[in-house]
Amino acid sequence: MHLTRRDLGKFAAVGAAVSAVPLTLASCGQSSNLGSGNGGSDGGGGGDKPIISAYNGATGSFTKNFNPHSPTVVHMVQGLIYESLFYFNPLEAIDQEPVPQLGESFEWNEDGTALTVTVREGVTWTDGEPFTAGDVAFTFNKIKDTEALNNGGQAPSGEATDDRTVVITWQQPSFTEGPNVLGRTWIIPEHLMADVDDLSTFANEEPVGTGPFKLTDFTPESYLMSANEDYWEEGKPGIGGVRCISLSGNQSATDQWLAGNIDYMSSQIPNIDGHVESNPELSYTNTGVSQIVLFAASNPDLGCTGPQTDPAVRKALYYGMDREQLSKLAFFDLATDISPALALPERDADFIDPSIELAPWNAQPEEATKVLEDAGYTKGDDGIYAKDGERVAMTISCPTGWADYVTALDTLAEQYKAIGIELTPQQVSVNEWNDAKARGTFQLVIDSLGQGPAPDPYYPYQTYFSTENTVAVGENGNPYQNVTRFSDPEVDAALDAAAGTADPEEKKAQFAIIQKKLWEVLPAIPVAVGSSMTQYNSTRATGWPTQENLYAYPMSWAAPDAAMVLKAVVPAE
C-alpha cells in the first residue's frame, strides 16, 4: 500500500494526540506597554515594515518561557519561532492537502508503522546553523525520552537516513498519528538542546528557531518577535514583527482595538457589527467550533474530592443550566446547541449516536431535582441539597478578566441556586487556573474543548478523556488534557479500536461507546458551542482572513494557525 499526503486525510480522522503541548486555549481576554507596538520597525529585523500588536487573552505578567514543548509556553512561539513539518487547516475537509512547512513530502509504509518525511533544503536556524533531518529525528527522540511529554509511552522515534530524510517509527500501526506528528510537533535544534535534561520544564529563554519571526525584546508586559530576515519562504513575513501585549481583560482589549492600538486578537465583543460599520479599518471573523464545558474533578479513585465527584450532581448541573439565558447574557446571543456526546452537532452529525439528544436549551429544574433526590439528596433549611452531611456547594473558576466566562459563572450561580445547588465563582490568574487543572486541585472550571489537528471528534475524546492523558490528583499533569481525571477501560479500548481503523462505520461504532459513557457520567458538563471571534485592524497590515477566505483557523491564540496568518499579512498601502 502506497500512501501519499492526500491519503493521510483518511486516517487523520482517527489520529491520536502524542504531543503534550497545548492545542488550544479559551477565547477571552493587564495595562501594557503599547507605545512601541505600532507603526514602525520597533528596533526589530523588519526594517521600515510595520510592527503589529497582538493580544491573546488576560494572562497576567508574562513569564519568559519560549519552549514550544512546555505546557506554559507563552503564546505565538509555536509556529512563529518553532515550526512543524506541515500545516493542517482544522476548518477544511479531512482529506485536505496539508501545506508543506519544514517538510516537503511524506509517505507511509504499508502497515502504518513508519512515516518517511523529506524535509526542506536550505533552511537555517536563526543562529545561522543549518536545519537538517537530524533535527527532526532529535525532536521526536527527545519527546519520546521525556516522561512528561510521553505519558502513555506511545510516542514515536526518529532516524535521519540522510540530511533530508527522516523516518518516524512506531511500535504499532499508527496511521492516525499523522496530523499530530506532521502538524503539531514543533521541531527544535539538536545543536542547542541535546544537553537539556527535561524538555518539559526547560524555559528556553533565548529561543533559536526556523520560523518567520525571532525574539528580540521581552518584558513581563510585552514581548517582540521581529521578522526573520533569513526565513526560508521567500517574501515572508511581509510585516516587520509582532508585539504580544498583556492587558487586564476583554474590555481593555476592546478599548485598545477600537483606539487602533491592537491589530490582531480573539475576544468576545458586544455590538461588534456596529463597531465595524463605523470604522472601515476594523473587521472580524467568527468560527463556531468551541465546545464550552464545565470540567469537573470527577474521579475519586484518582483523588478528586467534593460533591462534583457524584455523577448525580453533575447530571443536576446539566439539567439545571439555562443555556438560552447564558447565551444572551454571556455569549452575545451567539452560542448554539451542544451535544453531551461532545462532538460538534453539525460538522460531526454522522458520528454522533442518534440516541443522544442535544443538551436542553432551557433549564429543566424538575429533572435536576429529581436526579438529586433519587440519589439520596435532601434539601436543607438553607435551601441547598445535602447528603451524608455534605452540602452540594462547589467552587468554579475562570481566569481574571475573561469577561464572557466571568458573566457565565455569575449567571450559573443564580441558576443553580434556584435548584438547591450553591456555586461560588472565583476569578484567578491564568497560572493559578492552569496549575489547579494540572494538579487536580479544583472542583469545577469553565473551559473549552480543543478540536485537535484535524476535524474529527476522535481528537477531543483522546485528549480529554483517555486514561493515558491524566494523572492522580497532586501530580503535575497537562492543564490542556484530561483534567477531569476521567478513566474508563471501555473508553480506552474504544479509542484504541478507533485509532486502528480507517472504516467510518467502525469508527462510528467505537464513538458510540465513548459517547454513551460520557453521557452516563458527564465528566465534562456541556454548556454550549460558543462563537469564536477574531478581530483585525487593517491600518498597518492587510490580508487578514475573511469569512469567505479562511485560509487558516484565525484565532490569535491558536498554534500554528496564527503563524499562517501573520506570515500571510502584508503592510497596508
**Contact partners, residue 404, CB within 8 Å, separation at least 6:** 27, 28, 250, 268, 330, 331, 332, 530
Cα angle 176-6-9, degrees, rounded to a multiple of 5: 35
**Which CATH topology does 8-20+82-200 take?**
Dipeptide-binding Protein; domain 1 (3.90.76)
Q: Measured between alpha carbons, how far is 133 from 120 in angstroms, rounded to an integer?
A: 9
Strands 114-119 and 165-169: what pairing? antiparallel
pLDDT reported for residue 375? 98
Determine the length of the chain. 573
Least confidently predicted of 62-71, 341-350, 515-524: 341-350
Query: Do 30 and 246 touch, CB atoms closer than 8 A?
Result: yes
> 55 near 253, Cβ under 8 Å?
yes
DSSP bridge pairs for 225: 215, 242
pLDDT-wise least confident of 68-82, 114-128, 375-389, 450-464: 450-464
Provide the 3-class DSSP secondary structure of residue 36.
coil
Phi, psi of 78 (to 5 degrees): -75, 110
How confident is the model at residue 484, as a pLDDT?
A: 98
pLDDT in tens, 410-443: 999 999 999 999 999 999 999 999 999 999 999 9
H or E element in which residue 105 lies = strand 103-108
Instruction: Report the phi/psi class of residue 195: left, alpha or beta, with left for phi > 0 and alpha for psi in -120 to 50.
Output: alpha
Tens of pLDDT along 195-226? Answer: 999 999 999 999 999 999 999 999 999 999 99
DSSP state of 408: H
Q: What CATH number labels 290-530?
A: 3.10.105.10
Report pLDDT for 7.
32
**pLDDT tens, residue by residue, 237-254:** 999 999 999 998 878 999
In terms of Cα–Cα distance, which of 447, 444, 494, 441 is closest to 466? 494
Q: Which of 345-354, 520-529, 551-560 has the lowest mean pLDDT?
A: 345-354
Buried b (16+ CB within 10 A) or exposed e, 90-128: bbbebebebebbbbeebebeeebbbbebbbbeebebbee
Give span(s): CATH 3.90.76.10, the chain.
8-20+82-200
Report residue 66: phi and psi, to 5°.
-115, 30
**Whole-structure pTM over 0.75, yes or no?**
no
Output the pLDDT for position 174.
Answer: 82
Residues of the chain with CATH 3.10.105.10: 290-530
Which run of H or E residues covers position 226? Answer: strand 222-227
Given a cut of 70, is residue 558 above it in pLDDT? yes
Q: DSSP letter for 74, please.
A: P
Q: Work out the burial of residue 153: count CB atoms within 10 Å of its CB; fewer than 13 is exposed, 13-18 middle, 19 or more buried.
A: exposed
Lowest mean pLDDT segment, chosen from 15-29, 88-102, 549-563: 15-29
CA distance 494 to 417: 38
Q: Which three cell numbers stand for residue 155?
A: 510516542
pLDDT on residue 51: 97
